[in-house]
Amino acid sequence: MRFYSAALLTVVFQINSCRYSVQEKLSGPMAELSKIVITRDQVYDLSGYAGNGGGNPYNLFDENAFVDPRYEKNPDAFVPVTNCQPTIHPAIYFDGKKGNRIVVDFRIPYSVKEIYLYDHSLTADSCWIYSGGFKNWKTISSFTTASRPDAWGWKKIVLSGETQFLMVRFSSYETAITEMVVYGLPTKTIPAASNFSDHKSMTSLPLSQFLGVNYIMEKEAFRLKPFHYSRLYNFALDYDNDTSRNEKTVRFNMLHYGYYNKEKGKYTFDIDTLQHINQGNIWFSIRGVSRWMSDMGFTDKDRPLNRPLLNPEDPFSYSRHAAMMWNLSAFFGYQAVDTNWLSLSNEPRQSGRGSMHLYENGNEEDATWVGDKYCSPYEYFAQSTADWDGDEGRLGRRFGIHTADTSARLMMSGLISLDTNRVKVYRLLSENLRADKQFVWQGGIQYHYYSQRKGRGISPEADSLRSKLSMVADCSHRIAPGVKCFLGENGYDKAQTSWQATPLIPGYTVSQSQGIVLLRSINAVFFSGFDAYVLYWLRDGNPENDPRVFLTSGILRGLPDGTTWVYPGWYYISTLVNRLGNYRPDQVISEKGDLWIYKYRNTEHTDSVAYFIYKPTVEGSPNSPYRLAAGQINGNSVLKVDFADGLENGKEESTPVSGDGPLFSIGEKPSIIFYKEHPGG
């Protein structure tokens, strides 16, 4: 590690060898000391298991309120029971050199005097406690845990010195320290609670700038018209296809999606065509290793290091990858640089094409199913700070997307779940390992999520999708104010044997059912506080009964004869955008009872509103009546639009206003009701 403390990397085998601490049984009063209150928000796990590893790092402190081992006469009478270690595939979160590290941020420096820990282990393992900070960790205690029940109990560590941070490192997931209590005194005034809003408001973007779609490359560009965002899957070896192992001489290739037309004297790229369809945003999700690393047998699940065996927590280990990102940004970005600086194998060299400003440096780096190739938050941060701006320029002047184009933004690699704990660790690392303290993923915080239960896809309503995402949006807002929230993957398979199968609604085909629950999912996300919904997937290459997961999620299907089968979902989404593209979310009218109602408002003509209304079931239940009160309406008529197969604008019906107001028949397939709002209505 170039500038981080070696204390993170050195395995200490001495027991009680640290001159700063003494481990002993409880003894001796120091009445002026009190417990340091530690909340959940102050605890971080650098391994990133809190989201999907079945453990909670806060369990190391969660029973502090029930015990006071320093002052109680018989503290061993209370046995803490919660374990902070991961429990699901725990081995992937432990590195042989670093182990599992839990960090406590006291927010201000404290004079820490004593630490009490309850040892409930059945295996003798090495543990360490550090003070200081991320660039200067200092070992204050090292010890071996108990190996039998008669050695269980509270242990005491005496120390001196000021610190804002403590870090506990476990060498094995079999270690069972079930509680830790820290005693000390603040050396500064404890800051007042922030008045920052705990809640993220609903997005201010219109629907036309909210939707996106995942795909590889689409030859029928007009099929992308409903989608503002295009998320394209790529591999690093598509651009770093140089066989040289020397990162200083590598030349990159930008022609994965294009070619140079010698007759016309210009480059032609598919992404330029796509961008003109909807004036949207295209970004590459680039994961994996360079060509020469791939040729050595490494896969897209391995870390994109310059070469094997480098420290994956050191930004300098990713300088080759950061140089690739710089060249991508210089070539495709909006800010021209001196073409002599480009290191390209394709000629002629060109800069500032104005094609992209978003770049994603991975995809699901937190995947747990890849075993020991799992990427920790610390490792991904090290790669990202290099890819963003060359780790604040430490790598040099031609590293990182922002160094090449100041309008470029780094998109967070999509997380496999709604793991806000991992995002919290990203913020901690950004604040403490960068001089500017900037959260480097200014392009967006990205989550992937599928509504699913017990091996089946479920409706967004059965999953409480909107309220669930609202909490995630609020938490993300507190972690990184002003950074957009993306739902980067969400969708349903048509195949009913897939564990992500769309709920089959009686009276509708499977593809119609898919389209209906997609409409309801998009609406739920739009009203949640998220800023983008990116559909998974655009075009299938498989029949809709293919049982493999995520292979029948598309709203298009390419047929063997080269033609395209268009599923109802494409028409439904096209209708949604064509009709509500200039509308933003305004109000959740009702999410209870027989009908759920959401109010949209036109961004240009604010008296123009629309109700998105439907029955929240998937049981084939009969339509229900709904009357729009006449007092809400300014005008003589109301327009109802229903979603229909084969129609890009749906099927509309104008209803005159009379009596108590127009009456509508509403079913499980949503309808949109447009009207002019009565002043004050």
Q: What is the pLDDT of residue 192?
A: 77
Contact 214, 298 (CB under 8 A): no
Q: Is residue 193 part of a domain?
A: no
Q: Is residue 319 part of a domain?
A: yes
Tokens linked to 586: 């305004």
Q: Is residue 195 part of a domain?
A: no
Q: Is residue 681 part of a domain?
A: no
Contact 586, 578 (CB under 8 A): no
Q: 523-554: string of b/e by CB count within 10 Å (b at 16+)?
A: bbbbbbbbbbbbbbbbbbeeebebeeebbbbb
Q: 195: which residues sit within 8 A by CB, 6+ positions away?
A: none
pLDDT tens-digit series, residues 6-46:
333 332 222 233 333 334 444 444 447 889 999 999 999 99
Contact 509, 669 (CB under 8 A): no
Between CA 607 and CA 609 the distance in angstroms is 6
Residues of the chain scoring pLDDT < 70: 1-31, 96, 193-196, 680-681
- Out of 559, 580, 601, a domain closes at 580
Torsion angle in degrees (nearest 10) through CA of 63, 65, 70, 73: -90
Q: Is residue 191 part of a domain?
A: no
Same domain, 657 and 548: no
CATH number assigned to the domain comprising residue 601: 2.60.40.1180
Same domain, 576 and 588: no
Nearest CA to 357 out of 284, 270, 290 is that of 284
- Out of 561, 580, 599, a domain closes at 580
Beta strand residue intervals within 133-262, DSSP E? 138-144, 153-158, 162-170, 177-186, 211-215, 229-235, 258-261
Same domain, 224 and 145: no
**What string of H, E and C letters represents the secondary structure of 560-588?**
CCCCEEECHHHHHHHHHHHHHCCEEEEEE
Same domain, 170 and 239: no
Same domain, 387 and 240: yes
Contact 486, 532 (CB under 8 A): yes
**DSSP annotation string for 428-453:** HHHHHHSTT---S-TTBEEEE---EE
Same domain, 457 and 556: yes
Torsion angle in degrees (nearest 10) through CA of 298, 302, 305, 306: 10
Same domain, 411 and 481: yes
Q: What is the pLDDT of residue 6?
A: 33
Same domain, 565 and 591: no
Q: What is the pLDDT of residue 681?
A: 63
Same domain, 538 and 670: no
The alpha carbon of residue 406 and the mean position of all alpha carbons in its chain are separated, in whole angstroms, by: 23
Tracing tokens 């199968």 back to the chain, one arrives at: 501
Tokens linked to 157: 């560590």
Geometric angle at alpha carbon 69, from 65 and 74, rounded to 5°: 115
Between CA 203 and CA 255 the distance in angstroms is 36
Between CA 15 and CA 426 the distance in angstroms is 32
Q: 450: which residues sit within 8 A by CB, 6+ positions away?
A: 457, 489, 490, 491, 492, 500
CATH number assigned to the domain comprising residue 104: 2.60.120.260
Q: Is residue 222 part of a domain?
A: yes
Between CA 217 and CA 228 the distance in angstroms is 15
Same domain, 256 and 384: yes
At residue 144, the 3 state secondary structure works out as: strand
Q: What is the pLDDT of residue 12?
A: 27
CA distances from 331 to 227, 256, 405, 409 (A): 24, 13, 10, 15
**DSSP annotation string for 537-553:** -SEESS-TT--STTSS-
Q: What is the pLDDT of residue 486?
A: 98
Same domain, 447 and 352: yes
Same domain, 132 and 259: no
- Out of 580, 608, 633, a domain closes at 580
Tokens linked to 129: 């406690």
Q: Look at phi and psi of residue 64 and say left if phi exceeds 0, alpha if psi is from -120 to 50, else beta.
A: alpha
Nearest CA to 530 out of 470, 443, 574 is that of 470
Contact 446, 411 (CB under 8 A): yes
Look at the chain and report how many structural domains it folds into. Answer: 3
Could you tell me the residue range of the domain that residue 108 belongs to? Answer: 6-186
Q: Is residue 205 part of a domain?
A: no
pTM, to two decimals: 0.93
CATH number assigned to the domain comprising residue 268: 3.20.20.80
Between CA 146 and CA 126 the distance in angstroms is 10
Q: Is residue 148 part of a domain?
A: yes
Nearest CA to 181 out of 164, 157, 200 is that of 157
